[in-house]
Amino acid sequence: MSKRGIIGTLLLLMYLAGVGLFTGPSLAQLLVGHLPQPRLELIPFADMISVLTDKNAVGLGAFVNIAGNIALLFPLGLFLPLFWRWFERAGRTIGWCFGTSLSIELIQLAAGGVTSADDLLLNTLGGALGFAATRLLMRACPKLAPQGEGRAEWAAPLVCWLVIIAASTISDLLILW
């Protein structure tokens, strides 16, 4: 792995660790049986509309909810094509962001959190915006574009995400016991 790949992997690990901590419940809750009642929102935009029309929402609550979901995976859409050539295509990067968001939502569902189609859509939009920002950045400064074959470069981000899921689950189990 090149220096750039190592730096990208370390940055991605730190970012994904933050995502793991921020998005909440881990698989440990599932394994130990401490499950709150999950809430599943499958109708697109229903959750956003309820947040926007809630009269009890405090000031910036709706904005923070929507902008936060977009911002969550913006860095992922930015990092992937910046460090790994395999992600130079929009479909691959956006698909990866969708898969990451889907895994977060499924873990939240299994662990008793709120799973929302809106979160999935907004997270994926954030990843797409991050990808667009990287493309603009690489047009302005072509030397930033990663070099190399691009084969199997998807493995490093996948391993990073699996390590974060495993580490958060193990740490939660240690805390619970």
pLDDT at res. 134: 96
Which two three-digit tokens encode residue 4? 């750039």
Q: What is the mean pLDDT of each run of 10 residues along the chain (177 residues)?
A: 85 88 63 66 81 68 82 96 92 96 84 82 97 96 82 83 81 64
pLDDT at res. 87: 93
Counted residue by residue, the chain has a size of 177
Contact at 8 Å (CB) between 16 and 161?
yes
pLDDT at res. 116: 86
The string of DSSP letters for 105-147 reads: HHHHHHTT-EEEHHHHHHHHHHHHHHHHHHHHHHHH-GGGS--
From the list 39, 73, 31, the residue with the least C-alpha distance to 157 is 73
* Model pTM score: 0.83
Extents of the domains making up the chain: 3-176
